[in-house]
Each structure stands twice: as structure tokens, then as C-alpha cells.
Amino acid sequence: MSRIQAVFEQLKLANRRALIPFITAGDPNPQFTVPLMHGMVAAGADLIELGVPFSDPMADGPTIQRASERALKHKVSLTNVLGMVAEFRRQDARTPVVLMGYANPIEAMGHEVFARLAAASGVDGVLTVDYPPEESAGFVSVLRQQNIDSIFLLAPTTTDARVEHVVRLASGFIYYVSLNGVTGAANLDVDDVALKVASIRRHTSLPIGVGFGVRDGATARAVGAIADAVVVGSRMVQEVENSSEAEVVANVGRLVAELRSAIDAQL
Amino acid sequence: MQKYDFPDVGGHFGQYGGIYMAETLIPAVEELRRQYLIFRDDPEFKAEFAYELKHYVGRPSPIYHARRLSEYVGGAQIYLKREDLNHTGAHKINNAIGQALLARRMGKKRVIAETGAGMHGVATATVAARFGMECIVYMGAEDIQRQAPNVFRMKLLGATVVPVESGSRTLKDACNEAIRDWVTNVDSTFYIFGTAAGPHPYPMMVRDFQCVIGNEARVQMPEMIGRQPDAVIACVGGGSNAIGIFHPFIEHESVRLIGVEAGGHGIGSGQHAAPLTANAKVGVLHGNKVYLMQDENGQIVETHSISAGLDYPGVGPEHCLLKDIGRAEYVAINDDEALLAFDALCRFEGIIPALESSHALAHAMKIAPGMDNNKVLLVNLSGRGDKDMNTVARLKGITL
Ligand SMILES: Cc1ncc(COP(=O)(O)O)c(C=O)c1O
């Protein structure tokens, strides 16, 4: 059983929702990434989404764009990110790590090389924003050979027929993007999301995470009531951005703990 | 040669092209493809497109024998396909009209565009005014400076011009921002993409709309000289003017097709915008897989060209395929060579070309002397140079 599957099964038995915080690897600088990851796990993160910095983050709003820029100032490459995951794994063999990023750094490394190195580093899942199912059958099977899950996005615009197509390639969990927009937008409509999540469930038994637009305890709680996992991105990155280096790990941990208790409170 | 028939149903030109987009936009490009395929063969749509091209754009554009320039250069005769004479001053309007007609049929009242030199932005603002649509144009802050006259034109035409401050503040960043707008406003908005690149169906659709250039030339050349030219030469940014004039000539195997990229300070300097000539690694950006200027980690690198319209790290997928199969050749012309050609056309023919088009012209001037004077080079003069007055003046040390 994959680490991702194991975590979701445990949570299900406990009737709890997964909290998935996102940070960009190398932000604010490379030394902080592994401590931030451990800090988030200690504060209640169930799974970590680690952003791979890219020069042209087309699906991201200004907050995560700036995080990418900060990381790229330190020349953080995909190889470096895999190194960070490997370092994290030395102390944490349980918490799944999903890489989230864009196609070109993976293209540049090559699918096979990437899959092999990612598996060796302890990566559990890969979400590539600009690899839609139409272009990723080959990549998915290369990842599968290394027991790495392919996480796919579904969106409000996704038709039922496409959902059917996507869930056939997906494993680990499904990431439902709560709104039409870039990361960091703030107009998530919980009722719409509930309808869409229910309709996705008719096509798959995979756990469903919801992200984009989760800004605080209240939205986290509302999303936790309808989905299996709550993904928090820009709000985490904003905390990194607004914290001094001395305080960043503590501040990010505090935010995760806050979100954790908000999500758990309803149950 | 085997029958040339690209792209495939998924938008692939060999290994290039495709639809590498975020999920939110996939249904939108799918719908666009579906609608385009319907209207492409619809007699009413075709008639309306032809009408607009004739009465609004002023087509067909003439072909002009640049006699004095040819004499000055020596060797092959240089002919110009005068896209600079189109309404709004460049080939970009052919495509903008086509997409605006499609947008109207799809019920979209808001159009967005990216622009580099501003010619596509002006073309889009123009058709938006013509058809009563709201228009937002994304333009890199660096390009806003070097193409100031076009920014004013767009505003006069009622468009909102949004400066893009991220990244290299040029065309690629304007594309990123337009994509972000599209993903946010996907239900109401039609993205009028300016070149033969991006996710399927754009490379095919933009090519089809721009093929009017080559289709006309293929009839005009035999009328003028009794045969087809020996070579067709066009500048390549994303590749829309080039594919528009090349595509109808692909089956004429004796006609050489030469794409001219921006060599900037020279291929060796690394400061250029010539992914095909420099044999850049293949990668994925802006929805398609293409030759792409990048570092060893797959980060897109900053490009350089004096011409904003060529200052882009990628290139359309069909050019990638034409390079690989050897049906077209790709070369680069440096900034200073393009400027010399710019001056020469002004002085010998009384035509002020766009800096983009000056690249194509410069290559013709480079190879003509090595050819017999009964040979014919057809240069796609993709646009006029009015927009470049500030840039050229600055390079000459003159303040306007
Ligand atoms: C006059 C002119 N020619 C050429 C180009 C380059 O674009 P493409 O390669 O799509 O023709 C531009 C782009 O702005 C342009 O304005």
C-alpha cells in the first residue's frame, strides 16, 4: 500500500480529514524547507505538498509567483528539491510528500530519470499542472513503475465525461480546484464545491482533496465538511513571506495547528 | 515527400504541439477546437472572413519587386509580400479577424490578448472595437516602453492595456498573465492568441487564418514572374507570419522555405531569441511542446532581441516539425544586421519595415549576392515600422 493510501485509510478509520499544506521548496531559502516540513508535520499536517519552483508559474497568483522567484534566486532546481525530500525522509518515513509543479523541469530531467530519482528520494505523488491526462499517459505509467501516484486536478469546468477519463489515470487522491482562477484567489463558494465533490464521488472511490481559496480556519472547516482533504497553499506561503527567518518555522507551525483544530472541531 | 498533413487530432505535429494546459482550461480549448472545426468549413463563416479581409483589412496585399534594393545588393531579385499595407500595419490582423468572428459566434463578449511588439494587441483592440467587444491586452512592462506608440493606439481603440511586471517583463510574461486572466474568466472570455503556438487548436487555427498570405502569394508570383519564387523568407517569433506564407508552399518542393529568427547579440552570446537555430532543448511552455530556450534545470531563460515581436524563448510547433523533417531551414539574424536592412529598405525603396520583418529582409540581402540575378527571393514583409521609431531613434542616439 502506498504511503498516501495508508494515510487516507487511517484518517478514514478515525473519521478525520487530511490537512495538506503547500510550501514552495527553497522559499525563503533552501535551508528552511526541511525544517518547515517537519514543523508542519509536528503541527498536524497529514501530507505535504511541495512546490517545485518554476520561472513561468502560469497557474499561480502573485503570492506563489513570488515564492518561486525567491527560491529561484537561490537557484533551487528539481534535483535540489528531490534532495530536500530525501533529507526529510531520513527523519520521517510516514508522511507522504507530493511534488506540485510544472512540466518543463521534469521534461528537462527526462521522465525516467525523474521517476527513478523521485522514488529513491521518497516522493509519493506528483502533480504536474500542465500535464493534463491527454498528454500524460506515458508519464503516468513511468511513475507507476516506481510506485509513485499521479495526482490530477479537476476543475469547475471539468465535464462528467472528462472526470471519468481523469479518474482512470489518477491514483493517490483527486485534487479538486475549487474555483476558476489562479492560486490565491479568495472567492471559494462552498455550496458549489459540495455539489461538484458529490458528483466526482459518483465516478471514483479515490479520496478527494479540495484546494485553491482556503484562507483561514472557517474556510478550512467548511471544506473539511465536504471533502477528504483540505489543501492550503497561498495562505501558507504568505505566512512564509511575512515571517522573519528566526520565526518562520514557528509561525508556519502555528498556522498549521490553527487550521488543524478548525478542521477537527466540526467532527 | 509523403503527404504532409498536420496536426493529428490531438494537435500534435510529430512530437511537438499538444495541449499542455491546466485542467481548468482544457474544456475551454476543447470547446474552441470543436467550434473552430465546425466554422472552418461553414460557407457563411468563410464568406464573412473573406469579406472582412477584403473590405476591412484591404486584401489581397500586393507583391512588390524591390528593384533598387535588389540592384544595390546584387544577385537574386528581392520581392516583398506587403503585409505592412494591411489595416493596422501587420499580418496580425488576419488572425485577429478570424478569431474575433469565432468569438462572436461563440457568444463571447470579452476578448483578451498578449502582445510583444504591440501589433497583435493593436489588431485585437481594432477588431474588438469593430465588433463591440471588451478588450484587455497584456503587455510586458519592458515592451510598453519600447513600443509606446502602439500602447497609445490600443488605448485610443478602447482597449485596456495591462502592464506585466513579472519575469523578464516581455512577451512570455504577457502570455503567462493572459493565461491567468483566461483561467479566471474562462466562461466569459475568448483568448485571441497572437501567434501559431500555444495549446491545440491555436497553432492550427492561427496558421489557417494566416495562410491567406501564402495562398495569395502562390497565385501572385506566377502572375508576376511566370513561376514560383526560389525561396520564401519570413521572420519567426512564434511563427505565424512565417507559417502563413510557408504552408501553402510546402507542397511546392522546389521552393526553399527559410525562417529567420532573432539572433540578438549573436547565437554565441546566449543573448538571442533563436531556439530553432541554436538547437535549444525541446520543452513545454504555454500549452505546447516545442524547441525552447531554457537552462539545464528546465527554467526558461531570458531572451534578447531589438525586436519585441521576436523576443520569445519558444516557437510554434509546426516550425519545430518543419525543421526536423528538413522542409524548412532556420537561420538567425543579429540586431545590427536587422538594423542595416531596416535602413536599406527605407533608403532604397521608401518603405519603413517593422524591425521583425527587417530580420527576414536582412537574410535575403545576405544570400542574394551569392545567387544568379534571375533567381527570386520572396520576403514576407510582415509589418511596417512606425511602431519602432522610438527604438530606432534611441539606437541611433537621437531623442524624439
Ligand atoms: C510585424 C511583425 N512581424 C512578425 C512578428 C512575429 O510574430 P510571428 O512570428 O507570429 O509572425 C510580429 C509580432 O509581434 C510582428 O509585429
Q: Find out whether the beta carbon of B121 lies less than 6 Å from any atom of ligand 1.
A: no
Q: At what angle do helices A111-121 and A78-91 cross, to 10 degrees?
A: 20
Q: What are the helix and strand counts (H, E) for chain A? A: 12, 9
Of chain B, the percentage scoring pLDDT greater than 90 comes to: 96
The verdict on a CB contact (< 8 Å) between A54 and B286 is no
Give the strands of the sheet with B287-291, arranged side by side. Answer: B12-13, B16-20, B287-291, B282-285
A235/A242 Cα distance (integer angstroms) = 11
The per-residue pLDDT for range B360-384, each reduced to its tens digit, is 999 999 999 999 999 999 999 999 9
pLDDT at A84: 98
Local confidence band at A267 (pLDDT 50, 70, 90 cut-offs): low
Global pTM exceeds 0.95: yes
Which band of pLDDT confidence, cut at 50, 70 and 90, is reported for residue A1? confident
Residues from A contacting B (CB-CB < 8 Å) are 54-59, 61, 65, 72, 75, 77-79, 102-109, 129-132, 134-135, 152-159, 162, 166, 177, 180-182, 185
Q: How far apart are CA B282 and CA B276, in angstroms?
A: 10
pLDDT for B2 equals 66
| A117 vs A81: CA distance, rounded Å | 11
Q: Is B382 a catalytic residue?
A: yes
Give pLDDT tens digits for B252-272: 999 999 999 999 999 999 999
Q: Write out pLDDT tens, residues A11-70.
A: 999 999 999 999 999 999 999 999 999 999 999 999 999 999 999 999 999 999 999 999
**Ligand 1, from B92, B205, B359: best to mutate by most atoms within 8 Å of Cβ?**
B92
The sheet that has B189-191: what strands, in order across it?
Answer: B160-164, B134-140, B110-115, B189-191
Q: How far is the CA of B279 from the centre of ligand 1 (A)?
A: 21
pLDDT of residue B188: 96
- How does the average pLDDT of chain B come out, rounded? 97
C-alpha cell at B351: 518603405
Residue A54 with chain B: CB contacts under 8 Å: 298-299
Instruction: State the smallest CA–CA distance between residue A265 and chain B in angstroms.
Output: 32
Q: Closest CB to A56: pick one of B21, B172, B186.
A: B172
Chain B residues in contact with A177 (beta carbon < 8 A): 23-24
Residue B1, pLDDT > 70, answer no
- A266 confidence band (pLDDT: 50, 70, 90): low
Nearest CA in chain B to A58: B176
Catalytic residues of A: 49, 60
Evaluate if residue B303 carries a pLDDT over 80.
Answer: yes
